[in-house]
Structure 1
Amino acid sequence: MSKKNKNVAKPKKEFIFEKKNYTFLFIGLAFIALGFILMSGGGSDDPNVFNPDIYSFRRIRLAPTLVLIGLGIQIYAILLNPSKNKK
């Protein structure tokens, strides 16, 4: 019977991203979620009734802009290298 060496170091588990990356990822997700929430609604229960509210500024301009900003933040968070900025 052989004893296992207790002095063998276990490999340290490391995350791919650091805290700063995850912070930006969650901010981007919040922008995307807010954009989709603002985009929802404005429909009608009766298909014969037209509701012009679906063409409001909030649904046509603001919500898609928030989604695109959120996607831009996501890309920035993925490409961000926080260890480069450390001294």
Structure 2
Amino acid sequence: MKNIFVQIKCELGKVYEVAEHIVDQLEETEEVYSISGAFDLMIKLHLEEDEDIGRYINDRVQTIPGIKDTFTLMAYKAFK
């Protein structure tokens, strides 16, 4: 399994709707955080090794209504 973190910038007033959609519709979601800074949410996804990350983000995340922008980070090793 691969751990992927995605920072999400939402349209104004849409953070809670986007977070609810992610929790309800993306079964690969491990955690969803409201964060400060340039982005509104950060999600941790647990994807299969053979999953095409770019296609998953493009097809499943960026198409969620209320999302303006995403920034994807790949985790290589968990130390704890």
- Interval containing the TM-score (normalised by the shorter chain): under 0.3
Which structure: larger Rg? 1
TM-score between both structures, scaled by the size of structure 2: 0.24
TM-score between both structures, scaled by the size of structure 1: 0.23
